[in-house]
Amino acid sequence: LAILAVSCSGQSVQVDGNKVVDTLTRLANFSDHENPAVTRILFSPNDMLARTFVKDLMRDANLIVREDKMGNIFGRWEGSNPSAGVVLTGSHCDAIPLAGMYDGTLGVIGGIEAIAALQRAGYKPAASIEVLMFTSEEPTRFGLSCSGSRALAGALEAEVLESKLDSEGRHFVQVANEVGYGASSTQEMLDATKLAPGQVAHFVELHIEQGPFLEAEGKDIGVVTAIAAPAALEVVFVGDGGHAGGQLMPARNDAGLAGAELALAVERHVLATGSVDTVGTTGTFEISPGAINSVPREARLAIDIRDIDGPRRDSVVAAVLESAREIAERRKVRMSSRVINQDPPASSHDDIVSAAASSAQQLGLSVKHMVSRAYHDSLFMARVAPMGMIFIPCKNGWSHRPDEFAKPEDIANGVSVLALTMARLSGG
Ligand code: GLV
Ligand code: MN
Ligand code: MN
Ligand code: MN
């Protein structure tokens, strides 16, 4: 049942879920960790191999491939009305350390397959249809999420991108230049990447849910109505360190303990909203020097706070920063903090919500309208085009872990819904 067939303009759209899984499995090989774990960091050798793989797939689907200076990769299927705004789909192929093989990749490989299915069906698009692999949705290398889509949407300032360095102290544009993208300056790179007004008429992204609800409720397809507002903070505490034997307790200002208190304060402030929609995570917590016989001199925490309600998320961010100041004062450590990003939520556009829901119904699939609690490049694409997302169930809601899994039949469903949605939006 992994093959789904449906009639579109009198032709039959067929998607083989097992074939998509096979392609995803081949893509998963480009990984810094052994499969099933997938680690694919922006502009690393494996990311570059994955990019070549994706471009070859686009060419095999007779798409015209182009890349911008940020490394966003587009595959274009020219419509009969080439001056109309494009119907764009896409997602990302970078993967956080020890992730799985479906997050993001489904929306790229599935996007190419959706176009191929429409081509096989003899469908002729009016507005051109494009599939896009975004550069660096994940924040792993430079600490900034969605760098490609922020830039495409004109929502990334040069000084913000220049303030982000990788672990070797290098700038995005430097590394981009080394792998064949980039420009002579960050500003020039960003200016060249920004989409022209009206260039994209519709954006729709296919993704695994990364949560448990579709599977638990037995629904085939999620149609996303809004994307929760993500924020990321970094807090650093610095004390005086010292010898774990010689430094008596009253004389210490242990930065590690300040960090531990803050991690607990994040949880407390999040729970205090009383809403399950507020979530907070201290995802990295590094202490140094990191020796059993040394009082921690420095603690560095990266804190992720999200909510579907932007102002409520902002109030939690403010409370966490206030706690950081209070803890630093009481524990006599120095504190610095910075907000890495604090993005508003985004709403899907009714036209895309109804095109996706009608396409699912046409296929006899059950639909749940739902919020995306993960962020996606769609969050930024919503600033320049009507946006929508199609979710499929994933096992136990697991994501960002090696055992992430989606069934071939659910993949066939998602790709088919995407194909029909794009056909509706293109108007061929
Ligand atoms: C993206 O991967 C997210 O953290 O939502
Ligand atoms: Mn992810
Ligand atoms: Mn993703
Ligand atoms: Mn994501």
Ligand 1 atom at shortest distance from the alpha carbon of 374: 5
Q: Do 183 and 267 share a domain, yes or no? A: no
Q: Do 224 and 238 share a domain, yes or no? A: no
Distance CA 262, CA 258 (A): 6
pTM confidence score: 0.93
Q: CA nearest 321: which of 254, 212, 399, 232?
A: 232
CATH number of the domain where residue 290 is located: 3.30.70.360
pLDDT digits (tens, 9 = 90+) for 207-249: 999 999 999 999 999 999 999 999 999 999 999 999 999 999 9
Q: What is the pLDDT of residue 9?
A: 58
Q: Is 375 in the pocket of ligand 1 (CB under 6 A)?
A: yes
**Ligand in nearest proximity to the CA of 230:** 1
CA of 282 to the centre of ligand 4 (A): 17
Q: Do 211 and 267 share a domain, yes or no? A: no
pLDDT digits (tens, 9 = 90+) for 186-202: 999 999 999 999 999 99
CA of 103 to the centre of ligand 2 (A): 6
Q: Do 32 and 128 share a domain, yes or no? A: yes
Q: Do 319 and 400 share a domain, yes or no? A: no
CATH number of the domain where residue 218 is located: 3.40.630.10
With a pLDDT cut of 90, the percent of the chain lying above it is 97
Residue 10 has pLDDT above 70, yes or no: no
The stretch 64-78 carries a mean pLDDT of: 98
The stretch 174-182 carries a mean pLDDT of: 98
pLDDT digits (tens, 9 = 90+) for 93-131: 999 999 999 999 999 999 999 999 999 999 999 999 999
DSSP H or E stretch at residue 334: strand 334-342
Domain that holds residue 364: 3-228+346-426
Residue nearest to atom 2 of ligand 1 (CA): 138
Q: Is 138 in the pocket of ligand 1 (CB under 6 A)?
A: yes
Among 295, 326, 342, the domain boundary falls at 342
The domain total for the chain is: 2
Ligand 1 atom at shortest distance from the alpha carbon of 104: 2
Ligand 1 atom at shortest distance from the alpha carbon of 306: 5
Q: Checking DSSP bridges between strand 3-8 and strand 11-16, what pairing results, if any? A: antiparallel
Q: Is 374 in the pocket of ligand 1 (CB under 6 A)?
A: yes
Q: Do 209 and 246 share a domain, yes or no? A: no
Residue nearest to atom 5 of ligand 1 (CA): 374
Q: Do 214 and 240 share a domain, yes or no? A: no
Q: Do 254 and 312 share a domain, yes or no? A: yes
Q: What is the pLDDT of residue 7?
A: 59
Among 284, 317, 342, the domain boundary falls at 342
Among 320, 342, 364, the domain boundary falls at 342
Residues contacting 139, CB < 8 A, separation 6+ = 145, 232, 340
CA of 134 to the centre of ligand 1 (A): 14
